[in-house]
């Protein structure tokens, strides 16, 4: 087995860049590849294009040590880690086009005996598809160790880190490594063992793909339970946060927290890959998605009830990120809530507060009744205060500011 000295990481996003930085920090020669020139330039200056605690330091150290470089062209390397997005299509099947584009950039560089790892969250069968596609592009190579041709080793190693704790969890979490062959899985395990202090669990590629989807579906189903409880509790006049806190005193009960819906690029997406793979059977998983996706509408109705009949009302919407203390706006229910409300209630003004961004996201830009506002000003001007994200800054807010305001606290931070 070839010693893996150089690693190309394709896709320098929320997962690719931290992975590149920790590998480079361990002395491997890492080349990060991204289509976005501004990201490549920023990284080569030792800067990071997005907020993630401790990432900036790791990148700047590795860049000055010369172990991390970024480029727009896929280089020759011993190992390739593909960490590109896998969004879903309109019919909620996975869009593998970014993975295929990565494969097309890798294929010409291969000579045999390389390791290609798919990190992107993928539907069952995607790693096999990547392997088959690479061989279609390079029929002189084979996935089969017995073929007599130079072999390509392909494995899936899904990331499982929590945004906001990426640099800690990359090192400390256990990892699942699934190979198209046992040898590929073991090569991937050895590469990740360079920085991963958690246990490495070796399996086949399809089980590894499914394990990642199942982890996020587990969380989605449990958040759906909490969201359903919040709707029931509101109807029954019960404080859902007190209810959950009390129920969680039972030694075998651990209910999650309700919110305005589920956002992010993972939990709101991954369960659909399971539904697409087994539509007849994935009933609970589908229902959980639908329950969580219906929660923003429920919040919208609450706001509409409060502003009904008021002329010139102002709503302060606190938070746009998909969860607390990050600047990540992907699939954020807060944004869709503000977007729908501002459309449905053109006469209402929306003062949006998001301490982690400098500009309104595209979905809210150019709307005459929406403006990005400082926290205190927004609340002072508001008739209704709509808390959408449990950012620490909002938790620490002087509660006197809320006196006399109608409050919708979707995260239970001010109870
Ligand atoms: N949320 C709630 N109530 C809760 C917990 C979360 O409403 O009790 C909401 C959040 O506000 C957010 C969404 O769910 O909108 C998702 O947040 P999250 O913190 O649960 O998860 P992500 O999307 O940041 O990261 C998840 C993690 N998966 C699990 O915890 C099983 C992470 O480990 C994965 O690596 C990541 O998905 C991923 O990339 O798949």
Spell out the domains of the chain, with CATH numbers in brackets. 6-198 (3.40.50.720), 222-409 (3.40.50.720)
Q: Going residue by residue through the chain, which has 415 residues, state the pLDDT in tens, using 9 for 90 and above.
A: 678 999 999 999 999 999 999 999 999 999 999 999 999 999 999 999 888 999 999 999 999 999 999 999 999 999 999 999 998 899 989 999 999 999 999 999 999 999 999 999 999 999 999 999 999 999 999 999 899 999 999 999 999 999 889 999 999 999 999 999 999 999 999 999 999 999 999 999 999 999 999 999 999 999 999 999 999 999 999 999 999 999 999 999 999 999 999 999 899 999 999 999 999 999 999 999 999 999 999 999 999 999 998 878 999 999 999 999 988 898 999 999 999 999 999 999 999 999 999 999 999 999 999 999 999 999 999 999 999 999 999 999 999 999 999 999 999 999 8
Is residue 201 within 8 A of residue 174, CB to CB? The reply is yes
Q: What is the strand order of the sheet 175-179 is part of? A: 68-71, 29-33, 6-10, 79-82, 115-118, 153-156, 175-179, 200-204
Q: Taking the mean position of all CA atoms in its chain, how far away is CA 297?
A: 22
Q: Which residue, among 214, 225, 189, has the nearest Cα to 1 in the 3D structure?
A: 189
Atom of ligand 1 at shortest range from CA of 164: 24
pLDDT of residue 88: 86
pLDDT of residue 3: 83
Is residue 59 within 8 A of residue 21, CB to CB? The reply is yes
Is residue 386 within 8 A of residue 303, CB to CB? The reply is yes
The residue to mutate among 266, 332, 335, having the most atoms of ligand 1 within 8 angstroms of its beta carbon, is 266
Catalytic residue (choose from 206, 212, 295, 406): 212
Contacts of residue 151, Cβ cutoff 8 Å, sequence gap at least 6: 112, 113, 141, 142, 143, 144, 145
- In this structure, the strands spanning 68-71 and 175-179 are unpaired
Q: Taking the mean position of all CA atoms in its chain, how far away is CA 74?
A: 24
pLDDT of residue 66: 98
Concerning whether 323 is annotated as a catalytic residue, the answer is no
Bridge partner residues of 352 (DSSP): 317, 372
Pocket of ligand 1 (CB under 6 A): 121, 159-163, 215-216, 219, 223, 256-257, 259, 262-264, 266-267, 322-323
Using CA atoms, how far apart are residues 397 and 350, in angstroms rounded to an integer?
19
Q: Taking the mean position of all CA atoms in its chain, how far away is CA 13?
A: 10
Atom of ligand 1 at shortest range from CA of 14: 39
Q: Indicate the SS3 state at residue 350.
A: strand
Cα 247 to Cα 143, 179, 252, distances in angstroms: 52, 42, 10
The residue to mutate among 218, 225, 323, having the most atoms of ligand 1 within 8 angstroms of its beta carbon, is 323
- In this structure, the strands spanning 6-10 and 29-33 are parallel
């Amino acid at each position: 087995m070839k010693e893996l000295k150089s690693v190309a990481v394709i896709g320098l996003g929320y997962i690719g860049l931290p992975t590149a930085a920790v590998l480079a920090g361990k002395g491997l020669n890492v080349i990060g590849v991204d289509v976005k020139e501004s990201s490549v330039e920023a990284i080569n200056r030792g800067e990071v294009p997005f907020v993630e605690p401790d990432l900036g330091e790791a990148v700047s150290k590795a860049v000055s040590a010369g172990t991390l470089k970024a480029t727009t062209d896929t280089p020759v390397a011993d190992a390739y880690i593909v960490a590109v997005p896998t969004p879903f299509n309109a019919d909620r099947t996975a869009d593998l086009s970014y993975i295929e584009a990565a494969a097309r950039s890798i294929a010409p560089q291969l000579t045999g005996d390389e390791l290609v790892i798919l990190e992107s969250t993928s539907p069952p069968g995607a790693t096999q598809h990547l392997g088959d596609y690479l061989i279609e592009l390079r029929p002189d190579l084979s996935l089969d160790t017995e073929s007599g041709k130079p072999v390509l080793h392909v494995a899936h190693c899904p990331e499982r880190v929590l945004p906001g704790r990426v640099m800690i969890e990359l090192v400390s979490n256990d990892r699942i490594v699934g190979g198209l062959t046992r040898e590929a899985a073991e090569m991937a395990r050895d590469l990740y063992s360079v920085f991963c202090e958690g246990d490495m669990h070796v399996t086949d590629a399809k089980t590894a793909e499914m394990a990642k989807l199942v982890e996020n579906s587990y969380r989605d189903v449990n958040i759906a339970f909490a969201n359903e409880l919040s709707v029931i509790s509101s109807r029954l006049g019960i404080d859902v946060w007190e209810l959950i806190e009390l129920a969680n005193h039972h030694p075998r009960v651990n209910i999650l927290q309700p919110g305005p819906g589920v956002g992010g690029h993972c939990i709101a997406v991954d369960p659909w890959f399971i539904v697409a793979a087994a539509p007849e059977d994935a009933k609970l998983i589908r229902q959980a998605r639908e329950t969580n996706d219906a929660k923003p509408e429920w919040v919208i109705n609450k706001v509409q009830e409060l502003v009904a009949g008021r002329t010139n009302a102002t709503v302060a919407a606190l938070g746009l990120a998909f969860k607390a203390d990050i600047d990540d706006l992907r699939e954020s229910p807060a944004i869709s809530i503000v977007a729908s409300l501002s459309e449905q209630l053109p006469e209402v003004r929306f003062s949006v507060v998001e301490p982690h961004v400098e500009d309104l996201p595209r979905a809210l830009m150019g709307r005459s009744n929406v403006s990005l506002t400082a926290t205190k000003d927004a609340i002072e001007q508001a008739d209704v205060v709509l808390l959408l994200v449990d950012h620490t800054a909002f938790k620490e807010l002087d509660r006197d500011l809320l006196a006399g305001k109608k409050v919708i606290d979707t995260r239970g931070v001010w109870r």
